[in-house]
Amino acid sequence: HRALADNLVIFFRDQHITPEQHLAFGRKFGELHIHPAAPHEGDDPALMKIYADKDSPRANGEGWHSDVSCDLEPPMGSILHIRQCPPRGGDTLFASMYAAYESLSERMKTYLAGLTAIHDGESTYRGLYANYGVADRPSYPHAEHPVVRTHPVTGKKALYVNRGFTRHIVGIPRDESEAVLAYLYQHAENPLFQCRFRWTENAIAFWDNRCTQHRAMWDYWPHTRAGTRVTVKGERPV
């Protein structure tokens, strides 16, 4: 717990683990989260399938996002184990939302204080996994969260809006919301706030969704990238 809180994302190389060990490792940090849309590997719905090959229209997690931030209680952390890597490409980028918040001007911090935003999974998830044979659900998660959240372990403030799920800021005109969010997205994606992980077979990345965003690079077609993800339940952002 402390290593994750201190480092935001931690990496492990050469982890030859079974699906059961992957699930058991996740449970050491809390109850496991079930993804509202993605396919799972095997019989346990908590073991999310990560797969892209020459026939895939897209890869998991291409754009900047925090995992399932549209949930009322979004996941605290995600543990990704990649078993098969392309010969090149397929890196994952991570960005610190502590750094994104801390580097805002004091006037912008004052403006954002107390604001909330709507996070919605509908437009993100509907039809997204059709190529896996996964049928759409009648509805997808929808939640309202603070634009700036306080990490429950460190007490530090982090920017909590992302291109993947945030739709608009509550209580201000739509055009103002669009302008503010566009600025915050661009600001949060500053390379100065980032690290980049080059995958090797059987590597694991464990990241804290409460204070990071990430994106997967889809730059390895026609090669295959495959693995599984276990996600740990979190708390309602405050």
Match 């717990």 to its residue by tokens.
Answer: 1
Domains, the chain, ordered by start: 2-232 (3.60.130.10)
Q: Which residue has the higher pLDDT, 135 or 122?
A: 122
Summary count for the chain: helices (H), strands (E): 6, 13
- The mean of the pLDDT values for the chain is 95
Residues serving a catalytic function are 65, 67, 214, 229
What pTM was estimated for this model as a whole? 0.94
Looking at residue 135, its pLDDT comes to 76
Q: What is the H or E stretch that residue 17 is in?
A: none
Instruction: Residue 5: count other Cβ atoms within 10 Å of its Cβ.
Output: 15
Looking at residue 136, its pLDDT comes to 84
Please give the distance of CA 238 from its chain centroid, rounded to a whole number: 18
Looking at residue 39, its pLDDT comes to 87
Token pair of 29 as six digits = 């940090």
Task: Kindly state the DSSP code that residue 194 receives in the 8-state scheme.
Answer: E
Token pair of 207 as six digits = 């990241």
Looking at residue 126, its pLDDT comes to 86
Q: Distance (Å, rounded) from C-alpha 98 to C-alpha 158?
A: 4
Q: In the chain, pLDDT over 90 holds for what percent of residues?
A: 87
Looking at residue 124, its pLDDT comes to 86
Token pair of 166 as six digits = 């945030």
Q: What is the DSSP code string of 93-110?
A: EEEEHHHHHHTS-HHHHH
Residue 130: pLDDT band with limits 50, 70, 90: confident
Q: Distance (Å, rounded) from C-alpha 125 to C-alpha 61?
A: 11
Reported as a single tens digit per residue, the pLDDT across 18-74 is 999 999 999 999 999 999 988 899 999 999 999 999 988 777 778 999 999 999 999
Reported as a single tens digit per residue, the pLDDT across 192-217 is 999 999 999 999 999 999 999 999 99
CA torsion angle 147 62 74 5 (round to 10): -80
Q: How far is CA 76 from CA 48, 190, 236, in A?
A: 16, 23, 10
Reported as a single tens digit per residue, the pLDDT across 136-163 is 888 899 999 999 999 999 999 999 999 9
Residues 231/75, Cβ–Cβ less than 8 Å: yes
How large is the average pLDDT for residues 7-22? Answer: 98
Residues 201/57, Cβ–Cβ less than 8 Å: no
Q: Distance (Å, rounded) from C-alpha 83 to C-alpha 22?
A: 12
